[in-house]
Structure 1
Amino acid sequence: MADPPGGAALLKRAPFLLFLSSRILSQGALQVQAVAVGWQLYELTGSALDLGLLGLVQFLPVLLMTLPAGHVADRHPRKLVVGSCRMAAGVAVLALGLGSLAGWLDRTAIFVLVGLLGIARAFEMPAQQALLPGVVPGALFPRAVSLTTTAGQLATICGPAVAGALIVLGGTAAAYLPAAVALLAAGAMALAIAVPPHVPAAGGAGLARFFEGVAFLRARPVLVGAVSLDMVAVAMGGAAALFPVYARDVLAAGPVGLGMLRAAPAVGAMATGLFLAWRPLRGRSGLRMFQAVILFGVATTGFALSTSLILSVALLVVVGAADVVSVVVRQSIVQLGTPDEMRGRVAAVNSLFIGASNQLGEFRAGGMAAAIGPMAAAAIGGACTVAVALAWMRIFPALRGIDRLEEVAEGAPKPM
């Protein structure tokens, strides 16, 4: 079998370039916002628990609204949903910046505005995932996921570094305001993407429609294993909420060090994503995903115990590299294994699991750090991630046995 066209073919497609550019701006702006709001909140309260609550505030809208958001993504043009959500996020970040300048931004206002960001993200994530298969042909999809992930990680590298420098130079307002402008621009670019006319999913908006994505996944153990592995492993092992604590109290590195910690996983992810776009996985893809999750947990445990900034950054690079392998395999399995008319609702369930893994992971890390200290909390989380990966290998043998990612698309149900 001939290999599909390379990543260069993707970069010649104007719709994909717009998709990619919008993703870079949006992801970079959100990273700047995340660094600024974490630093500002920890300076205001000095509470690791508040950093965990920040993750919970972002997760609650995802929990409550993601399934309806998946139905919206199947009923309405996906680029319209993505563009509108990014612009709404830009308005919320603009309010954070203006509140910092005016002096009224306190703990409560931060939680409210971050919650609004969570609402925008809840509707954006399913639509964005479901939009990509309409932008590129199926043969290029795994490479497109790799390049898109790489672009997001490039923004994640630049965003925290820029945020740390801006905070040092002009305070948190100097970070929020450019991020707001970038989000508004990203929304406009998303609206300009040329895609085939959207065919709305049949049926109304009843409660049963919202849960069709859940029913679809439940009937397919491979997809259940793929999305649940990420949720449980990252919820246990995620340590990003503790980066402000490590930067200030463990590593004594300040806001610039915080930017380095936030950017380090993206360095590993970007390098790995570029490699996978050039040389995608050609076999034993399921096993490679499990191996990557185990490496993620081991590197997280090493980071937890490190008191050296250089070693901590290096271990976080490994964390990012391992994570992107898992992301590419998982996203390819879920999207290629789902017919187009169901992609919004299935992507909504996947987004719910991703949101749960990230935000509940932050809440878990912050709560445990407040109780037993940051180093113990992060180390236990990394060890739990390894245990989860080993357990899932036994529970979902079909997922472990996937060879080529194209097999998932070949076995996917076809539209009627």
Structure 2
Amino acid sequence: MPTEPAPLRRLPRFLASQSCSTLSYQMLAVAFGWQVYELSHSVFYLGLIGLAQFTPQLLLTLIVGQAADRFDRRRIAQGAQCLQAAGAAVLALACLTHLQNLPLIFACAMLTGAARAFESPSMQSLLPTLIDEAHLPRGLALGASARQTAVIVGPAAGGLIFALGADKVYFSCMAAYLLAAFWLHRLPGSTRSASKAPITLQSALAGVHFIRARPVIFGAISLDLFSVLLGGATALLPVYARDILHTGPWGLGLLRTAPAIGALAMSLYLARHPLRRHIGRKMAWAVTLFGLSTIVFGLSHGFLLSLLSLVVLGASDMVSVVIRSSLVQLETPDAMRGRVSAVNFIFIGTSNQLGEFESGVTAAWFGTVPAVVLGGVGTLLVVMLWRRWFPALFARDTFGDSSSVKA
């Protein structure tokens, strides 16, 4: 039986689990990036980290969506978190025994990607079962605030702990993942979906068909995909930290933290002042600002200006994230949330992990700075094209009513 939405009192345990998992993942990202660049001195290899995480996510999309709609979502997420803890433990032991190498790091990156492929859709589809729809936009904003707090603390903590030893970072990640699983265990009741439909190819592809049949949702998800795919510069932050801005691991941690600071500030604002009107227009302006701040970061050679541009980048991206997440969650039936969330997660993974691969490849071809600037320009072009191709998205006025269009 599906769980009835509960008051916001259940939310803190969910947010604690989400925050611990995000904290660990962000520390892992710092350790992965610094160790790979230190061992290879190659921007192409930095891009391969993203590809290593994205590939299993893509291959598992149809499986994880079905799983989240048929089994206990809480148990699926717990298992994924424990698997990621095991991967971090392996890397920690490899560092202690001086056996760390590029193949092992990439193998653990693939393991992390596979585990997150199960964890993220399960967590996304779990949240709407814990609170009622009236509180969902606020709950999503609070969730974004907690997640971005972890994104702020994670890279900075990862950089500082890395200075004490790579093994200590990985052991810290292991502990955080296990704590995340503990907080999920503290959630009361079953989180099993009510889906009883037989397993067929049509049911597996239902999430894809659902999104494609709704231009507003498809436009929002694809706009976020291509803007971050082209405009994402996070894969190249180790290069900026070491070769352009001339800082150490601590500087890399601060650079990775800066977008989260902007995102946290914006999510806290949106939790207090939820988006209600002109959401399509606001999304367009947010993605435009994301592209402009990417260009500024790419051209900057000053540490403070780089940090500021990344803060603005994170704040503008958060507006887009909240709008996209609210549209997906409010307009998807619970029995399909797992499959829709899985497809949504692939779009996010494409923009993030595959975007990191794209940044590494273009940086290897054109150079680091031109690659970032061209990505920002590409984001601005995407906004112009999406205005023409998805007019319903940019005309959308409010959440929850597909007929609510503002001319």
Residue number among 227, 241, 265 corresponding to 2:221 in the alignment? 227
Partner Cα separation in structure 2 for residue 127 and residue 24 of structure 1 = 15
**What is the aligned partner in structure 2 of residue 323 from structure 1?**
317
- Aligned identity (percent) is 44
Q: CA deviation at 1:192?
A: 2.3
Partner Cα separation in structure 2 for residue 77 and residue 70 of structure 1 = 12
**What is the aligned partner in structure 1 of residue 143 from structure 2?**
148
Residue number among 176, 180, 184 corresponding to 2:178 in the alignment? 184
Partner Cα separation in structure 1 for residue 182 and residue 332 of structure 2 = 28
State yes or no: 1:383 paired with 2:377: yes
**What is the aligned partner in structure 2 of residue 341 from structure 1?**
335
**What is the aligned partner in structure 2 of residue 173 from structure 1?**
167
Q: Letter of the 2:142 partner, please give it.
A: L
Q: TM-score by structure 1 length? A: 0.94
Aligned residues: 401
Farther off after superposition, 184-193 or 250-259: 184-193
The equivalences for 1:333-412 within 5 A come to 333-408=327-402
**What is the aligned partner in structure 2 of residue 6 from structure 1?**
none
**What is the aligned partner in structure 2 of residue 77 from structure 1?**
72
Residue number among 196, 203, 211 corresponding to 2:205 in the alignment? 211
Query: What are the superposed Cα offsets for residues 287-322 of structure 1, whole Å, 9 maximum, x if unpaired?
Result: 101110110010001000000010000000000000
Q: CA deviation at 1:68?
A: 1.2
Q: Letter of the 2:241 partner, please give it.
A: A
Residue number among 27, 35, 45 corresponding to 2:22 in the alignment? 27
Contact 2:72 2:190 (8 Å CA) reproduced: no
Partner Cα separation in structure 2 for residue 161 and residue 409 of structure 1 = 44
Q: Letter of the 2:356 partner, please give it.
A: E
State yes or no: 1:39 paired with 2:30: no
Q: CA deviation at 1:216?
A: 1.2
Partner Cα separation in structure 2 for residue 197 and residue 216 of structure 1 = 23
Partner Cα separation in structure 2 for residue 24 and residue 64 of structure 1 = 26
**What is the aligned partner in structure 1 of residue 119 from structure 2?**
124
Q: Residue 323 of structure 2 aligns to a residue in which SS?
A: helix
Partner Cα separation in structure 1 for residue 371 and residue 404 of structure 2 = 43
Q: Letter of the 2:299 partner, please give it.
A: L
Contact 1:154 1:267 (8 Å CA) reproduced: yes
Unpaired runs of 5+ residues, structure 1, are 1-9, 412-416
Partner Cα separation in structure 2 for residue 337 and residue 282 of structure 1 = 15
Q: CA deviation at 1:11?
A: 12
Q: CA deviation at 1:167?
A: 1.3
**What is the aligned partner in structure 2 of residue 68 from structure 1?**
63
Query: What are the superposed Cα offsets for residues 63-109 of structure 1, whole Å, 9 maximum, x if unpaired?
Result: 10022101100000111111111111111111111111111110001
**What is the aligned partner in structure 1 of residue 302 from structure 2?**
308
Partner Cα separation in structure 2 for residue 331 and residue 15 of structure 1 = 20
Distance 1:138 1:409, change over 3 A: farther
**What is the aligned partner in structure 1 of residue 45 from structure 2?**
50
Contact 2:18 2:147 (8 Å CA) reproduced: yes
Farther off after superposition, 127-136 or 194-203: 194-203
Contact 2:283 2:320 (8 Å CA) reproduced: yes
State yes or no: 1:285 paired with 2:284: no
Q: TM-score by structure 2 length? A: 0.96
**What is the aligned partner in structure 2 of residue 139 from structure 1?**
134
Q: Residue 60 of structure 2 aligns to a residue in which SS?
A: helix
Partner Cα separation in structure 1 for residue 110 and residue 224 of structure 2 = 23
Partner Cα separation in structure 1 for residue 165 and residue 260 of structure 2 = 24
State yes or no: 1:164 paired with 2:159: yes
Contact 1:134 1:196 (8 Å CA) reproduced: no
Partner Cα separation in structure 2 for residue 278 and residue 80 of structure 1 = 32
Q: Letter of the 2:379 partner, please give it.
A: T
Unpaired runs of 5+ residues, structure 2, are none
Partner Cα separation in structure 1 for residue 374 and residue 340 of structure 2 = 32
Partner Cα separation in structure 2 for residue 318 and residue 128 of structure 1 = 27
**What is the aligned partner in structure 2 of residue 414 from structure 1?**
none
State yes or no: 1:18 paired with 2:47: no
Q: CA deviation at 1:341?
A: 0.6
**What is the aligned partner in structure 2 of residue 297 from structure 1?**
291
Q: Letter of the 2:235 partner, please give it.
A: A
**RMSD over aligned Cα atoms:** 1.7
Partner Cα separation in structure 1 for residue 278 and residue 190 of structure 2 = 34
Partner Cα separation in structure 1 for residue 70 and residue 155 of structure 2 = 36
Q: CA deviation at 1:408?
A: 4.6
Q: Residue 406 of structure 1 aligns to a residue in which SS?
A: coil
Q: Letter of the 1:366 partner, please give it.
A: G
Q: Residue 401 of structure 2 aligns to a residue in which SS?
A: helix
Partner Cα separation in structure 1 for residue 189 and residue 308 of structure 2 = 40
Partner Cα separation in structure 2 for residue 408 and residue 82 of structure 1 = 31
Contact 1:337 1:409 (8 Å CA) reproduced: no
Query: What are the superposed Cα offsets for residues 180-218 of structure 1, whole Å, 9 maximum, x if unpaired?
Result: 111011012113212565244122333322111111112
Query: What are the superposed Cα offsets for residues 341-391 of structure 1, whole Å, 9 maximum, x if unpaired?
Result: 111111111011101111111001001111111100000001101110121
Moved >6 Å (runs of 4+) = none
Q: Letter of the 1:140 partner, please give it.
A: H
